[in-house]
Amino acid sequence: MGKRTDFLYLNEADTIRAGVLDARRCVSVSEEVFRLLGEGDFLMGGAKGSSHGLGLVFPKSSPFPNMPLAGPDRRFAAMPAYLGGRFDVCGNKWYGSNAANTGKGLPRSVLTLVLNDKETGEPIGFLSANLLSAARTGAVPAVAARHLAHREATRCTAIGCGPINRACLEAIATQMQCKELLCIDLFEEKAEAFADWARRTLGVKAAVTDNLEEAVRFGEVISVAASRLKPLHLEDAWIQPGATVLLTGPAQADEAFWLNTKIVYDYIGLHESYVEDAIASGNKAGYYGGVIGGPLYNLIDAGKLPPLHESTDLGQIILGQKSGREKDDERITFVACGMAVFDVAWGKDVYDTAQEKGIGQKLMLWDSPCQA
């Protein structure tokens, strides 16, 4: 007889009951991940174990009638990872995205997470991951705010007012005393809804503007999670001394913006993998244009910024290997490009809670494997 294999299935409601929306707890878990990144106790995809993931990019045209064609934010991606420490588990986030989803009553992205036994490869958990992914995406810049933002900062700006920036602001608010918030979005009604949510949920004084310069000048902590559908361009002159800019979404800026700020990466190895992938693509400029760190990579190639291996990431700061904020008027920009280790960590934490509380449904892969 072979070994029976079952796993815990958690639908979205189950993950909520298991605490997936606990922003403060997610920030603490994410800080653990940054420590493990700094220590090297993890693996992701790619030859160097630090790749974002493997994606399907659809063509603009195809002779095959059923093949999906390129569209706004249309893609699939597999994001595998192993994470050590107390997590000690493998996992994979499977990510499908299409901007047209919203017209069908669906989120733009549909996400699931599988957790696997590191030795046997058996699934131990299958989780609905939209809320999980948003929570950990928001927690990452919140960890950066904990370690990089000016301690007396009270004014925040939200550039982009979708669910990702909502998760960011909810997490950031657990790490600083955010008293005032200015919101801006391509769609004013989304900004108004965001401001109303912030007043009710975060207890802050929130307002809306349609002027990007006003929004940027206002913020002592600026969270950028704007749409990829329209380029966002920031100006150096708009950034106040001592401001912290948290990039969770793409942004373009004048050259002076990048040269007059201390740049802190989420994990340097990830960005090195992005550059290697860009070179391998044969269209480095085009590849750079599609990723959050692209503007920085161009300046590094031009010799205007230090090479990545001489730069600073947040794990190094948390471990005390490099300095974070050194002066009150220092401007800092944190660049986060997405890493599956954070999904695996938060997923494992939610899974463990569900196990303890008897949440979810056990499903069987096999009672006895035919091939054993």
The CATH number linked to 50 is: 3.30.1780.10
Q: Are residues 181 and 206 in the same domain?
A: yes
Burial (Cβ within 10 Å: 0-12, 13-18, ≥19) of residue 50: buried
In a domain, 335, yes or no: yes
Region at 370 (left for phi over 0; alpha for psi -120 to 50; beta for the rest):
alpha
Contacts by residues 286-290 (CB-CB < 8 Å, ≥ 24 positions apart): none
Tell me, yes or no, whether 119 and 212 share the same domain. no
State whether 31 and 175 are in the same domain.
no
205 is a domain residue: yes
Asked if 107 and 160 sit in the same domain, the reply is no
| Residue 371 covered by a domain | no
Pairwise CA distance, residues 227 & 221, whole Å: 19
Q: What is the pLDDT of residues 268-307, one digit of tens each?
A: 999 999 999 999 989 998 899 889 999 999 999 999 999 9
**Alpha-helix residue ranges (DSSP H) falling in 203-323:** 212-218, 255-259, 268-281, 284-288, 294-301, 314-318
Q: Are 215 and 184 in contact (CB under 8 A)?
A: yes
Are 148 and 269 members of one domain?
Answer: yes
pLDDT at 198 over 80: yes
Tokens of 144: 């950066």
Judgement on whether residues 326 and 356 belong to the same structural domain of the protein: no
Query: Cα angle vertex 164, ends 158, 165, to 5°?
Result: 10
Predicted local distance difference test score (pLDDT) of residue 2 = 83
Query: Which residues neighbour 279 within 8 Å (Cβ) at sequence distance 6 or greater?
Result: none
**How far apart, in whole angstroms, are the C-alpha atoms of residue 90 and residue 222?**
34
pLDDT tens-digit map of 74-100: 999 999 999 999 999 999 999 999 999
Structural contact between residues 158 and 125, judged by C-beta atoms closer than 8 angstroms: no
**Residue 286 belongs to a domain:** yes
Amino acid at 218: F
Nearest to 348 by CA among 19, 6, 5: 19
pLDDT tens-digit series, residues 23-57: 999 999 999 999 999 999 999 999 899 999 999 98
Q: What is the mean pLDDT of residues 114-120?
A: 98
Together in a domain, 179 and 271: yes
126 and 163 in a single domain? The answer is no
Residue 124 CA: distances (Å) to CA of 78, 139, 309: 18, 25, 37
Q: How far is CA 319 from the centre of its chain?
A: 21
pLDDT of residue 57: 87
Q: pLDDT tens digits for 134-177?
A: 999 999 999 999 999 999 999 999 999 999 999 999 999 999 99
Kindly report the CATH number assigned to the domain that includes residue 333: 3.40.50.720
Please state, in angstroms and rounded to a whole number, the distance separating the CA atoms of residues 99 and 72. Answer: 6
Q: What is the pLDDT of residue 232?
A: 87
SS3 90: strand
Assess if residue 372 is contained within a domain.
no
Both 211 and 162 in one domain: the answer is yes
Q: Say yes or no to pLDDT of 228 above 90.
A: no
In a domain, 40, yes or no: yes
**By residue range, what is the domain housing residue 217?**
139-339
User: Two tokens at 354?
Assistant: 């569900």
**196 and 302 inside one domain:** yes
Q: What is the C-alpha separation between 28 and 272, in angstroms, rounded?
A: 26
Q: Does 290 lie in the same domain as 216? A: yes
Residue 57 lies in a domain: yes
The candidate with the shortest Cα–Cα distance to 324, out of 268, 236, 243, 262, is 262
pLDDT of residue 230 exceeding 90? no
Same domain, 212 and 281: yes
* Residue 58 covered by a domain: yes
* Res. 336: pLDDT tops 80: yes
- The total domain count for the chain is 2
